Structure 1
Amino acid sequence: MLVDLFLYVLFSDDDVEDISSSESLQYEFVTIEVATSYFSDSNKLGQGGFGAVYKGTLQNGQEIAVKRLSRGSNQGQQEFVNEVILVAKLQHRNLVRLLGFCFEGTEKLLIYEFVPNASLDHFIFDSVKRSYLDWERRYKIIGGTARGILYLHEDSRLRIIHRDLKASNVLLDAEMNPKIADFGMARLFNLDETQGVTSRIVGTYGYMAPEYAMYGQFSVKSDVFSFGVLVLEILSGQKNHSFRNGENVEDLASFAWKNWREGTPSNVIDPILRNSSGSIHEMIRCIHIALLCVQENVANRPTMASVVLMLNSFSHTLAVPSEPAFFMRSGIGEEVWSGTDNTNSRVSDKSVNRVNSVKYSINEASLTDPYPR
């Protein structure tokens, strides 16, 4: 079988067994062609590092989202394998569901449930759509995302670090429930492992913990840091990497920290929320939780289990946060990669800045480790 030959050539025996055991998830290419009207432009939902994403409808009426690997994309090839191996094993209401995959000739497809409200960034950073996200909806998104990450870290039969948690990777279903997506960069751990080190950095600058961005050290606390940044964005309606405070541009975590320390945390809150009926006390508590998550010292950051507890129990006393990590100096809004062998790395031609051998490039698509994990 061509699929088996492809897998055995590229990946380990365990990976092949994992994917082959998911054979019932395989779709024929012609089925997806028909479902997407032959990948028509009218059905195209977007474009990412993996390739284009299309909306489709199966013969039974089920709506699907299809990621189509760009030919010659080493990044996409590894994301394909990573997602099939990982996502097929994961079942949680706050994770996007992988329905199947297709490998036929040069075509590699990932088939997901269709999530009608696109990603969180389409709402939270849009001056018009943001008004639809009242505090009740935003709080539900924060809580659901926290539960999804907790499942990855502790409650699934695998231990997974996502490594690219951000607003564009949180999808919203018809009821505006969050579903974490894009596991192409995720890292699988044994249950007794807690951290790792890599010479190649993958993810999105601004959401990345400093120890990971600068030294390649990652752990469950790396995702906690990203979650804290995401919470601040949800509360403020501002992007962390391009937050503007009057005449100054600074990172959102720094702004939140200064206002929390000065007793004016309400300055961080989206004016739409400040003028609503939502609980200001809940919002300020969420700012406090976010600041605990983005602390520079890894040991001081809470686990996701603690975060979920803090979100659900208002009687739980919160610790005093220390100063967050400040490492956003210039070249705002960049993706990141590093390593000595960058043969397969994809970077923009507009390279800027260098911090501890980490290069930054202006690009909205995440960069992926070019080798299987």
Structure 2
Amino acid sequence: MTASNSARRYALVPNKENDTIAARVVIKDPQTITSQKQIYKLGFFTPPNTTNRYLGIFFSFSLETVIWVANRDTPLTDSSGSVTLSRHGNLVVLDGTTNQTVWSTNLTTSPTNPVVQILDTGNLVLREEASGDTLWESFSQPLDVQVQGMRLTQNVNTGKQVLLTAWKNATDPEKGSFTMGLDVISGTKQLYIWNEGRPRWRSGPWNNLLFLGIKKLFYNYLDGFNQVTNDSAGNFFFTPPQQNDRHIISTVNYSGSLNRKAWNGMEWDVVMACPENECDVYGTCGAFGSCNALESPICSCLRGFEPANEDEWRRGNWTNGCRRKSQLQCGDDGFERLRNMKVPDFAKPLPFMVQDECRTTCLGNCSCIAYAYYDNIGCMFWSDILIDTQDFGSVGVDLYIRLSASEFENKAQDTSNFEAGHMFTTDSTAIVLKNESKKVNIGELPKFTFKMLATATNQFHEDNLLGRGGFGPVYKGVLANEKEIAVKRLSAESGQGMQEFMNEVIVISKLQHRNLVKLLGGCVENEERILIYEYMPNKSLDACLFDATNPTKKLLDWNMRYNIIKGIGRGIFVTQKSQILGWQEYSVAMKNMAILQESWGHKYGMEGRFSEKSDVFSFGVLMLEIIKGKKNTHYLNDEWSLSLIGFAWKMWNEGKCLSFVEECIADRETEEEMVRWIQIGLLCVQEYPKDRPSIEIVLSMLSRDIVELPLPKQPVFAENGSTPGPGSTDQNELTLSVLDGR
């Protein structure tokens, strides 16, 4: 049967408020179908400055935002087009003028009873109605836009990819020069933009929380950029997570830029653009070159290298890159540390190694020319070439470059002292006396003198006292270069000896992470043991969460608390997966605001093991505190004499969860989400540690990767408001106490 005969035998059916195309239904230009919640439409449209017509999917609230085009390579020249199901069960676009099929889903088998539906995800699905089996979907053939729930994939066995493909230009959706997708075969998991197959931009390695080559994500990852996961068939998926009712899209445009946009209710705000500057363009400075967008010129050779072509380099042509000055000698080589870098391309990861093993492994392999370490990735190694390296300045990864021993002959032997002076001030007070620095080795951390810290804190004056913890007071200080710091002076009464102090130094230095308060250095002189942290000006989260008079409390709406809880959960996940034993105390940085949650301090002991389920218990308590806006240790319900946990359990059991939520955020519109999160909190504080989910499972529950939640068992709580320790009833778990943040 010809296309024209097929079209004529189908009746034209009104389709208002309809989201499906069934057999014998024709959607004729300019008719549309709309998803159930009125988010997306399927219909015909015309791009700017042309009369061509295309079948596309677009937002119902932003008709000019087209996320998918069917006949991108075969435009209709007038408004005679229609879309329907052919007798073979294919979705087809018909040209009413020529009676020809201009586009088809091209199924290889004919379904018995096909139906097409536009979903609220933006996915157009062709399925077998009886079985519900999906036969074809638009998400498998994306164009230039990725919406939430859409997957970009690569199979590690076949190399097959699902990519975004840019328009040819602003008016023509035909396939353009630029594509974007996920690459996992070359080493680490990275996103790329390719120009006719050549790299144009890359994201840097994925570490289960962010892409390490996107500088903005180090500050802003709580906004939820993406997820990269895999399945048993070898497919890796890059999927932007759901953001409640927030509409967020990523587009690759015809000029080769990736733009991440958020709908503000009236228009799309560009929240991130990649490449952001010339240094983000792949390989700007060539092999063994480093790019810094704040320098002029922006390109320089890595230490130990020189321009391959001096004349071209001076003229600003850096494409030939740099060459090594002195050849490596293998056994006698050393490493130069470059701080806060976008690591080069072609990293080879070894995920089950700790940081100390990276150097030894690289040094023992003569083909290894650089290494790095980062949370959730482990060691990364490079051989042959270092390309697309960038100096981020304040965030990033420490990269260790292998150099010949001759490169270090004129360099100070104590690199920590050198870096301390360089980092803070050239003033003589920043230089540690050599006889002091030799007494105690605090690793690669910069060393401060007691005199320097005494000056910075005005002789540890009470006016600069930020608070007192179990191990001593914390002071605000200002260095000679006006950098503000927090100085933790351990008291002799704390009982923390030199070994405990060194454990803390080692643990926290290894846990350097963008969401942890940064340890800047240490001081050990005579009996003084001092740690220096970055200073956070707006105190801890509890200052605005639990103090009704604090002006920042109004910032903590449900969406903010939602992001805070997820961010703390991710911080715990990073900490647990670091596989480091010892004492740890950290603060989780919140999105777009300098508010900190100084988390519970834990002393991990008992045969050198720490309890992950204890962290989950504490996290559950914290979830309930954030939802209620009350401290667990200070809460007592007058009516029932219940603790915070007890009150949460009672209200959840009685189906009155909104009565538990802090009044200022209690809202019927978000009640379902709040009930879910209270249930997750109760799962975390169950009596027996074996019943509590792991932090990974908790994060999956929060992100709805796990939709169905188990029913929590009743937690142990006393009527006087006290709660059990997180491991108090399981002999196989470590007994810990829940402590207030200072």
Fold match, TM over 0.5?
yes
SS where residue 510 of structure 2 aligns?
coil
Alignment of 1:126-205 (within 5 A): 126-129=547-550, 130-154=553-577, 156=578, 158-160=579-581, 175-176=593-594, 178=596, 185-186=603-604
Correspondence for 1:231 among 623, 626, 643: 623
Change (3 A) 1:183 1:241: closer
Q: Any conservation in 2 of the 1:50–1:79 contact (CA below 8 Å)?
A: no
Match of 1:11 in 2: none
How far is 1:162 from its partner?
6.6
Which structure's residues are more often helix, by fraction? 1
Match of 2:649 in 1: 257
Which structure's residues are more often strand, by fraction? 2
How far is 1:161 from its partner?
7.6
Deviations 1:217-260 (A, max 9, x none): 96200110010001100000112123232344322111111111
Deviations 1:97-129 (A, max 9, x none): 111110112221110011122112222211222
Q: Which amino acid aligns with 2:469?
A: G
Match of 1:298 in 2: 689
Using the alignment, how far apart are the partners of 1:232 and 1:162 within structure 2? 25
How far is 1:59 from its partner?
2.0
Correspondence for 1:34 among 443, 449, 455: 455
Q: Which amino acid aligns with 1:134?
A: D
Structure 1, unpaired ranges of 5+: 8-18, 188-195, 199-216, 339-357, 367-373
Q: Any conservation in 1 of the 2:504–2:584 contact (CA below 8 Å)?
A: no
Q: Any conservation in 2 of the 1:88–1:98 contact (CA below 8 Å)?
A: yes
Using the alignment, how far apart are the partners of 1:72 and 1:150 within structure 2? 33
Correspondence for 2:715 among 320, 324, 348: 324
- 1:21 lines up with 2:443 in the alignment: yes
How far is 1:83 from its partner?
2.0
Q: Any conservation in 2 of the 1:102–1:110 contact (CA below 8 Å)?
A: yes
**Count of matched residue positions in the alignment of Structure 1 and Structure 2:** 298
| Moved >4 Å (runs of 4+) | 1-5, 76-79, 160-165, 169-174, 176-184, 329-336, 363-366
Deviations 1:309-364 (A, max 9, x none): 222226622111111133x455859999x9xxxxxxxxxxxxxxxxxxx9x9xx97
SS where residue 522 of structure 2 aligns?
strand
SS where residue 54 of structure 1 aligns?
strand
Alignment RMSD, CA only? 3.5
Using the alignment, how far apart are the partners of 1:180 and 1:162 within structure 2? 15
Using the alignment, how far apart are the partners of 1:76 and 1:364 within structure 2? 23
How far is 1:76 from its partner?
6.9
Deviations 1:129-149 (A, max 9, x none): 233322222122111110110
Using the alignment, how far apart are the partners of 2:516 and 2:589 within structure 1? 9
- 1:268 lines up with 2:660 in the alignment: yes
- 1:80 lines up with 2:501 in the alignment: yes
Using the alignment, how far apart are the partners of 2:721 and 2:649 within structure 1? 21
Using the alignment, how far apart are the partners of 2:467 and 2:725 within structure 1? 18
Using the alignment, how far apart are the partners of 1:163 and 1:333 within structure 2? 23
Deviations 1:267-321 (A, max 9, x none): 110001115x973332222111101101112222111111112222266221111
Using the alignment, how far apart are the partners of 1:116 and 1:137 within structure 2? 19
Match of 1:15 in 2: none
Match of 2:514 in 1: 93
Percent of aligned positions with the same letter in both sequences? 41
Using the alignment, how far apart are the partners of 1:225 and 1:334 within structure 2? 10
Change (3 A) 1:331 1:301: closer
Q: Any conservation in 1 of the 2:485–2:534 contact (CA below 8 Å)?
A: yes
Instruction: Report 1 or 2 for greater relative contact order, CA contacts < 8 Å, sequence distance ≥ 6.
Output: 1
How far is 1:70 from its partner?
1.7
Structure 2, unpaired ranges of 5+: 1-434, 729-734
Using the alignment, how far apart are the partners of 2:657 and 2:721 within structure 1? 27
- TM-score, normalised relative to structure 1: 0.69
Alignment of 1:355-366 (within 5 A): none
- 1:287 lines up with 2:644 in the alignment: no
